Amino acid sequence: GENYQEIVHSHAKYSPREIQKAAEVLYVLVHARYASSPRGLDTIKRMFQNNISNGGKEGRSMDDDWMDGTIEPIFGRCSRIACNGMPLLPIGMSDCYDIGGKGGVGRRAMRYCPCCREMFYLWESKVDGAAWGTSFAHLFLMVQGSEVFGSLLVRARRERNSKIHHDERTVQQTRPTIFGFPLHPSVY
């Protein structure tokens, strides 16, 4: 009908490349919004649990399976020795999509370690960090962290307070925030 023709003609001024880019931006921003929602957080929790049920051994705690490498975490492990292979979570440096593509590697999705609170670049990542946003990792740890990581978070807090992580040579740690609001250190 007439409405279809109006839509076709109104989009004719945009190239297919521009339309594709707009769809990509929309997808990334919707993904970040979903991932931070209660349903999205639950989905990621279930992904971790499915990974555990498919790779874990009977009669062992989830922490044992994480630590001995029986289960490979979805987003990788922290490479720092003091973190004992802590599972990583995705995080972005910004909540805004890099439309011009000029942000380079710094705008790609990174991985966050809850133990040392450092962010790591993964060179194979092509996803803009806005797909996860700056709050997802901290929100996930606050809401689902104890259920997914169990005593690993308690151990991480203890390690963080030890001399190992207060070494002057370490990289500056990330200050945990959710939607721009800083979190109290006791949260996780």
State pLDDT tens for residues 32-84. 999 999 999 999 999 888 876 555 555 444 555 555 555 678 888 888 888 88
What span, in angstroms and rounded, lies between the C-alpha atoms of 43 and 34? 10
For the residues of 36-74, what is the DSSP string, one character each? TSHHHHHHHHHHHHHHHHHHPPTTS-HHHHHHTTSS--T
CB 124 within 8 A of CB 108: no
What separation in angstroms does the CA of 15 have from each of 10, 12, 174? 12, 7, 40
What average pLDDT does the chain have?
77
**In the chain, what percentage of residues exceed pLDDT 70?**
67
Q: What percent of the chain clears pLDDT 90, i.e. is strictly above it?
A: 18
The predicted structure's pLDDT at residue 29: 92
pLDDT for 89 = 93
pTM of the full structure: 0.74
| Amino acid letter, residue 55 | G
Read off the pLDDT of each residue in 120-134 and give the average, rounded to a whole number: 84
Max avg pLDDT among 2-16, 80-94, 104-118, 158-172? 80-94
Chain center to CA of 107: 13
More confident of the two residues 172 and 20: 20
pLDDT band of residue 106 (cuts 50, 70, 90) is low
Per-residue model confidence (pLDDT) at position 36:
94
